[in-house]
Chain A
């Protein structure tokens, strides 16, 4: 795999940009896909958001200063794109954020790309009750096995706050699963 630093340099040079961008898409598409999918839940919506994310990355690569890892920076863009997508969707449908989340989980039952059993559906129901930040931290840590340090950059918060959010999320989810 190409070193991140070299990739960034190539992306920022006009003549090597196209080739480097292809490498970037191939390297990160799966990780970003799963991150977005866990926020927007539906495959087609994820596909839209994933493409928007890469286009934003392409347009803004000159603004990337290298202070954080490229992949944390892309996670930040993917997170913002996903949350904005959901807000726009709820506005278009004329429902509240919570109503949309409940509807998204409901739709999973008929989703051909959701193979979860009862417990996994319950998990999604539990996740829908959490505040956005707690849900994000939980999925990034538990399913994507990211380090707190990287999550902190992606979500623009301190590691301490993240750890607290994660433990709170685990407790709430466990309580929900036990109760229901």
Chain B
């Protein structure tokens, strides 16, 4: 047993002689663990038997069954005709419309269409991109809200959710 000259602690026999080997062993072990990583090598997904054999004919049949795209250009006159007929129909319909009922205006239709478009179309725009095209100066809070918010509700919300009202920098607003 080795004895430290200045204190009474002991180390096991041969501790310092074998220290290097044990240290290198451990480094090697940790390295190999890291090399293999704790991330599994496979992710466990499987496919049904024979899937890859039957997918090709399915794709090809879809391509063959798909109707050809007919360009608008070649049927221009035909569409003009339909548009003209539709315009006349709408005109006749609009003057014979029962005026007691509230008619559907163009604005109603347009809004519904626009809403449906935004609802169903993937715009692929992030919030930041939308913010870039819509200027904040030009919109009021109530433009983007369906129901007007009462001041009382806003104050109640702030009261419940804001710890330090000073942080809102409201010094300039006269509360009285």
Contacts and interface: CB of A to CB of B under 8 A. Distances in A.
Given A38-B45, A55-B62, A174 B37 contact: yes
A84 interface: yes
Interface residues of B, number: 24
Query: Taking chain A's interface residues, is the majority helix, strand, or loop, or is none over half, making it mixed?
Result: helix
Contacts of B48: 43, 113
Nearest to B39: A173
Interface in B90-126: 119-120, 122
A65 interface: no
Given A26-B56, A174-B38, A120 B44 contact: yes
Interface string B36-54: 0111101111111001100
B48 to A, nearest CB: 7
B162 interface: no
Interface of B: 37-40, 42-48, 51-52, 55-56, 58-60, 62-63, 66, 119-120, 122
Interface string A106-128: 00000001111101110110000
A178 interface: yes
Contacts of B43: 38, 116, 120, 123-124, 139, 143
A33 B66 CA distance: 22
A64 interface: no
Contacts of A139: 43
A115 B63 CA distance: 33
Contacts of B60: 18, 21-22, 25
B63 A116 contact: no
Contact of B47 (A38, A43, A119): A43
A115 B120 CA distance: 35
Interface stretch (A46-54, A70-78, A151-159): A46-54
A29 B56 contact: yes
Contacts of B62: 51, 55
